[in-house]
Structure 1
């Protein structure tokens, strides 16, 4: 009888003091709750047609690989990765080249190669939904297998 009474009390306390489970919060909701929104600042422009290298962005990556100084990369690890971020003006010229990755020496070499690749080349500018040419940011992953 004591065991049944004890089991019953444990069950009652378990139900009575159970925690309520909150509905799963979305990442967007968490971000917006932490960041106050200033309604006087317009949202960033949406680029409907992103900027393109002549011949496509794959051709740009291939040209960067051709322009890499392979002698400077010999002492680095085998599998190298970085991101090339380009700011393309509305007339197609490159305003800025940045690289972000774990290996700083590799980032420097890729940045030099990307600047050499884009030095005399006009890109096809990005366009908004109205067809107007706009400044665009192009973010391209870059991988290099060191042999």
Structure 2
């Protein structure tokens, strides 16, 4: 009798204290559930072929390094990093240059050098999957070593 009572009590407590398992929500689902959805607005264009500097983006990074004012960077430390962010329109013109990193002086110098490297330079515009030219945002990491 004791075993049956114990078994019944265990089942009651097991069912009574069981937790409901929530479906795992992703951050995207949480964000979209809070935002009103306007179905008349089309999604942003997907860039299948990103914008390119003439001779490639590595050539752009090298051009930025050549234009960099190294005298202003001598006191900043050895290894400096930032990200160069460019907005290239559908004609291939650079509309905006910005930098994002941990050192404001370094970011400013890299931005100046990147603006010089893009001055009157026609980029190859980004293209979507249908081959249409679109506005593109280009993110390029930039590293400089003070040696």
Alignment TM class, shorter chain as reference: 0.7 to 0.9
Helix, strand or coil at the partner of 2:70? coil
Aligned residue runs from structure 1 range 1-147, under 5 A: 12-147=12-147
After TM superposition, the structure 1 stretch with the greater mean CA deviation from structure 2, 106-115 or 19-28, is 19-28
Per the TM alignment, residue 131 of structure 1 is displaced from its structure 2 partner at its CA by 1.8
Structure 2: give runs of 5+ residues left out of the alignment. Answer: none
Per the TM alignment, residue 27 of structure 1 is displaced from its structure 2 partner at its CA by 2.4
Per the TM alignment, residue 47 of structure 1 is displaced from its structure 2 partner at its CA by 1.6
User: For the aligned residues, what is the CA RMSD?
Assistant: 2.4
Decide whether aligned partners of structure 1 residues 17 and 102 sit closer, same or farther in structure 2, where only a CA change above 3 A counts.
Answer: same
User: Please, what TM-score do these two structures have when normalized by structure 1?
Assistant: 0.85
Helix, strand or coil at the partner of 2:142? strand
Cα distance in 2 for residues equivalent to 1:98 and 1:79: 20
User: Please, what TM-score do these two structures have when normalized by structure 2?
Assistant: 0.85
Helix, strand or coil at the partner of 1:117? helix
